Amino acid sequence: MQNTLTNYSDFYRQSVEQPDAFWAEQAQLIDWHQPFSRVCNDDNPPFVRWFEGGKTNLCHNAVDRHLAARAEQAALICVSSETGQEKIYSFKALHQEVQRMAASLQALGVQQGDRVLIYMPMMAEAAFAMLACARLGAIHCVVFGGFASGSLASRIEDATPKVIVSADGGSRGGKALAYKPLLDEAIRLSSHKPQALLLADRGLAPMALVAGRDHLWSDLREQHLDAQVACAWLDAAAVSYTIYTSGTTGKPKGVQRDTGGYAVALAASLKHIFDGRAGETFFSTSDIGWVVGHSYIVYGPLIAGMSSIMYEGLPTQGMDGKPNGGIWWQLVEKYRVTVMFSAPTAVRVLKKQDPALLTKYDLSSLRALFLAGEPLDEPTARWISEGLKVPIIDNYWQTESGWPILTIANGVEKKPSKFGSPGVPMYGYKVKLMHETSGEELTQPGEKGVLVIESPTPPGFMQTVWQDDARFINTYWKSIAGKTVYNTFDWGIRDADGYYFILGRTDDVINVAGHRLGTREIEESISGHAQVAEVAVVGVADALKGQVAMAFVVLKDASLMADEAASLKLEGEIMKRVDGDLGALARPARVRFVSALPKTRSGKLLRRAIQAVCEDRDTGDLTSMEDPAVLQQIRERM
Ligand code: ATP
Ligand code: MG
């Protein structure tokens, strides 16, 4: 019935007013081994069980069910500008590799419900391992490859894996990073010890094996070349995986996800949001260590019968290892990519490259570029939109949600995007804005509030915090007075057309002389200055005003940093801009020019760390940070 609707408002209304009918229809997008008897069980809110009584399997839906129609079609296209290798696995080949991996894991003792931790670079075996776990009903927990021993150890401790799948190492910008020593050290630090390690060796870094515990994938694969491992038919509510949030605001949370709801959510999002079609190619530039990698490198595109590009390497490096800012566009041309997914932070990197690279390749296959993970500032959006000449679709979501919360559902109705807005609530999400302390719902356009989601949360949404229901409830569902709503901890605003704008995280709001200002708004204003490449604004304690804003700016032309007169002039211009856009109250007390900003490994700005440095406090857990050296520069420039 929805398929006859061409109007997104009607589509959305049905999803929230008749959720059972709506989701029962979406559930037809996947294969069920046993049909479900109840669409949504939310008898015990905020816990929700979708598709109760149904049995299915993620791996079956991603791989096996495509064998009949598209066995020879590319499933995974693995491209590494780090090793110079490019390898394509058809659905048939993927089916075989996944069964070899599943049989190897079984040989190491893995059974349904066991945890398998995956600590790997962007190599095909990482996807084999995820799919093999799904096939067996084992719970995977992917940890971003290259995370330091300490953060890896805390995740091993939390997930208590029976087996860890890893590799000799990863590589970044041509520099190999040995994983095995990091992993061995993490296991030493953890009180939980895995029974076995399964290790892929690409000859990037030396690897010492522990006899009896460590096994080479090449050996086990050889022993299971003809393995046939059937998919375990799992309850829809069976846990498929756990994944940790990025840790931008503090200690990462172990997000737990189901099987049936997730499969349906992904299949529906590929159709209604990404508008990706079977037989086409999807290219997400993320990493399997993040939720985007789970949903839109591995499971989503494959469930939709699409080929998925798995790319290892920098966006600015060619297959020969030499600088090449056009590598991604080259891949779009070569594999006729129709849907691409990246992050604003990556686009900002590309913005520093020769603009001619955007016209050098035939990008005519591309229908849209989706960007998520961070606020998409208008200058970046305009630059890439003018360069690619396809819709740039901002989408707002979280590790917790598993798929977009706010965006444009292009597959339903091609509504226009608005610069600065990720769009409108996606079907199934009852998004509201609430007053942070009174819990009052804000219904007027232009009112600022905390973005919350009412129960029941849609399929694909986190089930709970792994092994910690209390943390799930207390962290997410009890933070708004008198209301049981899911708190996104993001600050937003809605305009008269129902489009939302994200103003930043709730802990990024600063209070200047009693006025609450979103740091994001100030950043948006500053990033409109022609010289500004990137900016971070934080609130710093001030005896007089409570807090003042401090701006740290990366300039497009780094040489200006050393020029005192030019810096002063720029600082004045930037302050004037903020005065004009937001008023003098929002004007940063200082504008400091730096060569880089501290970010998480997923490219998110770590305002919390900048703020701590500015206030001369302990910076706390920085394990998710890309390059701790950049904090030193900020300290020096305070
Ligand atoms: P932690 O929860 O551990 O602090 P994190 O919130 O950075 O880490 P993620 O789940 O990866 O971990 O990120 C989700 C957050 O990223 C959102 O809550 C929001 O703050 C931000 N975000 C994601 N997409 C967008 C977007 N399109 N526009 C603005 N902000 C976004
Ligand atoms: Mg978060």
Two tokens at 254?
């172990």
Is 600 domain-assigned? Answer: yes
Say how many Å lie between the CA of residue 57 and the centre of ligand 1. 29
Note whether 560 and 447 are same-domain residues. Answer: no
Q: Which amino acid is at 366?
A: L
Residue 2, pLDDT score: 44
Residue 128, pLDDT score: 99
The percentage of the chain sitting over the pLDDT mark of 70, rounded to a whole number, equals: 99
What is the three-class DSSP state of 257? Answer: strand
Q: Which atom of ligand 1 is nearest to the CA of 394?
A: 27
Residue 36, pLDDT score: 98
Contact 401, 488 (CB under 8 A): no
Two tokens at 249?
């605001």
Q: How confident is the model at residue 268 (pLDDT cuts 50, 70, 90)?
A: very high
Q: How confident is the model at residue 4 (pLDDT cuts 50, 70, 90)?
A: low
| CA separation for the pair 84, 30 (Å, rounded) | 36
Note whether 38 and 122 are same-domain residues. Answer: yes
Say how many Å lie between the CA of residue 375 and the centre of ligand 1. 9
Atom 26 in ligand 1: residue holding the nearest Cα:
396
Note whether 445 and 539 are same-domain residues. Answer: no
Among 104-118, 223-237, 459-473, 539-553, which stretch is predicted with the lowest mean pLDDT? Answer: 539-553
Structural domain span for residue 618: 508-637
DSSP string, 223-240: HTTT---PPP-EETTS--
Indicate whether residue 252 lines ligand 1 (CB < 6 A).
yes
Give the residue from 562, 550, 548 showing the smallest Cα distance to 597.
Answer: 550
How distant is the alpha carbon of residue 360 from its chain centre? 29
Say how many Å lie between the CA of residue 89 and the centre of ligand 1. 32
Say how many Å lie between the CA of residue 254 and the centre of ligand 2. 11
Indicate whether residue 394 lines ligand 1 (CB < 6 A).
yes
Indicate whether residue 506 lines ligand 1 (CB < 6 A).
no
Among 145-154, 234-243, 420-429, which stretch is predicted with the lowest mean pLDDT? Answer: 145-154
| CA separation for the pair 195, 376 (Å, rounded) | 44
Residue 496, pLDDT score: 97
CATH of the domain at 617: 3.30.300.30
Two tokens at 417?
């995007």
Is 1 domain-assigned? Answer: no
Indicate whether residue 505 lines ligand 1 (CB < 6 A).
yes
Note whether 578 and 632 are same-domain residues. Answer: yes
Please give the average per-residue pLDDT across 352-358, as a whole number.
87
Please give the average per-residue pLDDT across 105-125, as a whole number.
98
Give the residue from 62, 52, 27 showing the smallest Cα distance to 234.
Answer: 52
Q: Which of 288, 371, 374, 450 to mutate to test the pocket of ligand 1 (most atoms within 8 A of CB)?
A: 374
What pTM does this model have? 0.93
Two tokens at 94?
């993927």
Indicate whether residue 248 lines ligand 1 (CB < 6 A).
yes
| CA separation for the pair 182, 155 (Å, rounded) | 13
Average pLDDT, the chain: 94
Note whether 91 and 20 are same-domain residues. Answer: yes
Indicate whether residue 402 lines ligand 1 (CB < 6 A).
no
Is 231 domain-assigned? Answer: yes
Q: Which of 477, 494, 523 corresponds to the end of one domain?
A: 477
Two tokens at 226?
């003809």
CATH of the domain at 194: 3.40.50.12780
Peptide bond preceding 46 in cis form (omega within 30 of 0): yes
Query: How many domains does the structure of the chain reveal?
Result: 2
Note whether 451 and 529 are same-domain residues. Answer: no
Contact 325, 405 (CB under 8 A): no
Atom 16 in ligand 1: residue holding the nearest Cα:
373
Residue 108, pLDDT score: 98
| CA separation for the pair 47, 40 (Å, rounded) | 11
Indicate whether residue 345 lines ligand 1 (CB < 6 A).
no
Residues with CB under 5 A from ligand 2 (ion): 245
Contact 125, 170 (CB under 8 A): no
Two tokens at 1?
């019935």
Q: Which of 421, 455, 477 corresponds to the end of one domain?
A: 477
| CA separation for the pair 411, 436 (Å, rounded) | 34
| Angle, CA 61 vertex, CA 57 and CA 65 arms, to 5° | 120
Contact 102, 135 (CB under 8 A): yes
Question: Which element (helix H / strand E) includes 26?
Answer: helix 19-26
Indicate whether residue 286 lines ligand 1 (CB < 6 A).
no
Say how many Å lie between the CA of residue 484 and the centre of ligand 2. 18
Note whether 144 and 69 are same-domain residues. Answer: yes
Indicate whether residue 247 lines ligand 1 (CB < 6 A).
yes
How distant is the alpha carbon of residue 354 from its chain centre? 27
| CA separation for the pair 193, 500 (Å, rounded) | 46
Is 171 domain-assigned? Answer: yes
Note whether 309 and 430 are same-domain residues. Answer: yes
Say how many Å lie between the CA of residue 154 and the centre of ligand 2. 18
544 pLDDT higher than 70: yes
DSSP string, 513-565: TTEEEEHHHHHHHHHTSTTEEEEEEEEEEETTTEEEEEEEEEESSGGGGG-HH
Residue 181, pLDDT score: 96
Residue 399, pLDDT score: 96
Is 486 domain-assigned? Answer: no
pLDDT tens digits, residue range 484-522? 999 999 999 999 999 999 988 888 888 887 787 888 889
Indicate whether residue 407 lines ligand 1 (CB < 6 A).
no
Atom 27 in ligand 1: residue holding the nearest Cα:
396
Say how many Å lie between the CA of residue 611 and the centre of ligand 1. 18
Note whether 249 and 333 are same-domain residues. Answer: yes
Indicate whether residue 607 lines ligand 1 (CB < 6 A).
no
Note whether 72 and 177 are same-domain residues. Answer: yes
Contact 328, 293 (CB under 8 A): no
Among 142-146, 472-476, 582-586, which stretch is predicted with the lowest mean pLDDT? Answer: 582-586
pLDDT tens digits, residue range 194-244? 999 999 999 999 999 999 999 999 999 999 999 999 999 999 999 999 999
Q: Which residues pair with 172 in a beta bridge?
A: 175
Is 44 domain-assigned? Answer: yes
Q: Are strands 500-505 and 486-494 parallel, antiparallel or unpaired?
A: antiparallel
Say how many Å lie between the CA of residue 226 and the centre of ligand 1. 43
Indicate whether residue 377 lines ligand 1 (CB < 6 A).
no
Among 22-36, 96-110, 406-420, 533-547, which stretch is predicted with the lowest mean pLDDT? Answer: 533-547
| CA separation for the pair 428, 21 (Å, rounded) | 12
Among 209-223, 390-404, 451-465, 619-633, which stretch is predicted with the lowest mean pLDDT? Answer: 619-633
Note whether 556 and 411 are same-domain residues. Answer: no
How distant is the alpha carbon of residue 359 from its chain centre? 28
pLDDT tens digits, residue range 285-344? 999 999 999 999 999 999 999 999 999 999 999 999 999 999 999 999 999 999 999 999
Q: Which of 477, 494, 527 corresponds to the end of one domain?
A: 477
